[in-house]
Homo-oligomer: A and B are copies of this chain.
Amino acid sequence: MTTQPRRSKITPEREQEFYEAALDLLREDGYEALTMEGVAARSRCGKSTLYRQWGTKQRLVAAALRGTRCVRLADIDTGTLEGDLRAVARSAALFSARDTSLTHALGHAVLQNPELLRALREALIEPEIAAINAMVRRAVERGEIAADNPAAEFVSVQLSGVIRARPMLEGLPADEAYLTRFIQASILPALIRRTATPS
């Protein structure tokens, strides 16, 4: 009885348009000011379409965060840790502006709204942590990093932290050149085995 999936007349393309409209409005005016009516007007549909599909603005925003995620750090596998992290620098820089403005726009709302916080974490944060931790694990397996190197646990929080902190501290985005310098200067020296140590 409940196995029959709910039928939706919305095509995936149209769904993406609703998601983009919701996130654009979110970035422009913040979460409090966002309304289903506003998203309907921006995407030229009746608001009943949105209510039927998502019910609340909270559910629409959560779906939009999940549905528009396109960084696929999990696909990166260049064969070296340095290559993997340079590829992260490329994609992270591409998407950090989007993520920063969304995080700011959601700001206080996520603190009061556990479902929204969970959606933000699932959409923006957890896939990146998992992908970076997998890169580090592969580097350990290849012998690039000592298995007991205590710096290994901090790679994802360091990258994520620097991407979030540079705009606050220096008023500049953490672009690819900056992240690449950071990876070379600070991340790799603490991780990579310097010399073959005699055993």
Q: Which residues of A contact B (CB under 8 A)?
A: 30-32, 101, 104-108, 110-111, 121, 125, 129, 149-151, 153-154, 156-158, 160-166, 168-170, 181-182, 184-187, 189-190
Could you list 22 A-B pairs, sorted by A, with CB under 8 Å? A30-B108, A32-B32, A104-B107, A105-B107, A105-B108, A106-B107, A107-B108, A125-B168, A149-B185, A150-B184, A151-B185, A151-B186, A154-B185, A157-B165, A157-B169, A160-B161, A160-B168, A160-B169, A161-B163, A161-B165, A164-B168, A190-B190
Nearest B residue to A185 by beta-carbon distance?
B150
B107 touches A185 (CB 8 A): no
Given the complex, which residues of B lie within 8 Å of A107, measured CB to CB?
Answer: 30, 104-108
Number of identical monomers bound together in the oligomeric complex: 2
B150 touches A157 (CB 8 A): no
Please measure, in the bound complex, the distance between the C-alpha atom of A9 and the C-alpha atom of B184, giving whole angstroms: 56
Given the complex, which residues of B lie within 8 Å of A164, measured CB to CB?
Answer: 161, 164-165, 168
A158 touches B158 (CB 8 A): yes
